């Protein structure tokens, strides 16, 4: 870790390093496929309503339970709505939840990890014990409990997922800070009178970013899975807004007569999460192979 940290000292040409990382990720063919899938998802999230062949709430009762065909690629649901259009448009919700929820955990977790690791002592003890406590709950259960308090809905689901994944960022960040803060360049900066804030922002943060970036990619996968699970339980996205988890929840009663209602939304979640995981793994291999055990210790939602 220390070798790696010192090799990433602020003096190192950052642009070249980024280029090298990108090249390593792109050399992994599976990761390229994952990136293409993610690019397609971003397009769906941005232009879903324009690309969808039917309106997401266009009810055509006479067309209900149509099996997949050229007219309706993924069939129609119990109200005759086009499943393909709904799956396409729901990409936005998933990516939005993923990005905002992980954004919350990232900011909160990294801040707590930086402070705990840098100051050590009692602050470290208190922060990390609270993180341990949050870790003692199964992630989805904690999210359910938070949503029970805040009430169901998209915004609250993002907050709940954000809180649930904060401890992993705090732990990873703190572990890296502990090794970086003793580096020569940090001590040198301190000796010339740099303030704590300056040390943290300019010298420590840039050198603990690698494992955090990797964790961000993997957490996006977990966050999307969690949102889907919460929506599936009826606690996340509320109708009529389409969400993959909610579509499975609504389609659950019709699976026997319309298998496509249960298959395609789930497939969308699966492919998205798989793509994030593959890209995350490739980034980890490129950026930070040593962090493997720490990152995987959380598993999925």
> Which residues of the shown chain bind another protein in the complex (CB under 8 A)?
129-130, 132-142, 144-151, 221, 225, 228-229, 232-235, 245, 248, 252, 255-256, 259, 262-263, 266, 269-270, 273-274, 277-278, 281, 292-293, 296-301
State the first-to-last Cα distance of the chain, in angstroms, to the nearest integer: 28
Neighbours of 12 (CB within 10 A): 13
- Cβ 19 to another protein, closest distance in Å? 27
Q: Is 54:82 a contact under the CB 8 Å cutoff?
A: yes
Which of 50/257 has CB closer to another protein? 257
List, in sequence order, every residue forming a beta bridge with 82; answer none if it has no partner: 76
Q: Is 15:267 a contact under the CB 8 Å cutoff?
A: no
- Cβ 23 to another protein, closest distance in Å? 22
Which of 203/298 has CB closer to another protein? 298
Which of 84/232 has CB closer to another protein? 232
- Cβ 197 to another protein, closest distance in Å? 29
Q: How far apart are CA 133 and CA 149, in angstroms?
A: 18
Which of 151/193 has CB closer to another protein? 151
Q: Is 113:169 a contact under the CB 8 Å cutoff?
A: yes
Which of 16/256 has CB closer to another protein? 256
Which of 30/43 has CB closer to another protein? 30
State the sign of the Cα–Cα–Cα–Cα dihedral 41, 46, 52, 58.
Answer: positive
- Cβ 266 to another protein, closest distance in Å? 3
- Cβ 49 to another protein, closest distance in Å? 25
- Cβ 228 to another protein, closest distance in Å? 6
**Residue from 74, 54, 78 nearest 64 by CA:** 78
Which burial class, exposed, middle or buried, applies to 171 when counting CB atoms under 10 A from its CB (0-12, 13-18, 19+)?
buried
């Amino acid at each position: 870790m220390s070798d790696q940290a010192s090799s990433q000292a602020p003096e190192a040409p950052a642009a070249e390093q980024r280029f090298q990382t990108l090249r390593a990720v792109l050399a992994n063919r599976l990761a390229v496929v994952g990136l293409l899938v993610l690019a397609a998802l971003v397009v769906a999230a941005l232009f879903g309503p324009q690309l969808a062949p039917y309106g997401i709430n266009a009810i055509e009762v006479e067309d209900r339970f149509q099996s997949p065909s050229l007219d309706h690629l993924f069939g129609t649901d119990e109200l005759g709505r086009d499943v393909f259009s709904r799956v396409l448009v729901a990409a936005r919700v998933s990516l939005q939840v993923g990005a905002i929820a992980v954004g919350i955990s990232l900011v909160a977790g990294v801040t707590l990890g930086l402070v705990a690791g840098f100051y050590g002592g009692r602050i470290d003890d208190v922060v990390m014990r609270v993180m341990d406590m949050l870790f003692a709950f199964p992630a989805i259960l904690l999210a359910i409990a938070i949503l029970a308090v805040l009430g169901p809905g998209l915004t609250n689901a993002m907050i709940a997922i954000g809180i649930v994944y904060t401890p992993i960022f705090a732990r990873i960040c703190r572990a890296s800070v502990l090794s970086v803060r003793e580096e020569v360049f940090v001590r040198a900066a301190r000796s010339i009178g740099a303030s704590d804030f300056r040390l943290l922002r300019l010298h420590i943060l840039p050198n603990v970013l690698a494992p955090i970036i990797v964790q961000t990619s993997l957490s996006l996968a977990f966050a999307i899975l969690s949102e889907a699970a919460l929506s599936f339980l009826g606690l996340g996205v509320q109708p009529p807004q389409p969400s993959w988890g909610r579509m499975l929840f609504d389609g659950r009663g019709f699976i026997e007569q319309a298998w496509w209602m249960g298959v395609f939304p789930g497939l969308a979640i699966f492919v998205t999460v798989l793509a994030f995981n593959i890209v995350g793994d490739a980034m980890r291999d490129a950026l930070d192979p040593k962090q493997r055990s720490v990152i995987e210790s959380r598993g999925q939602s």
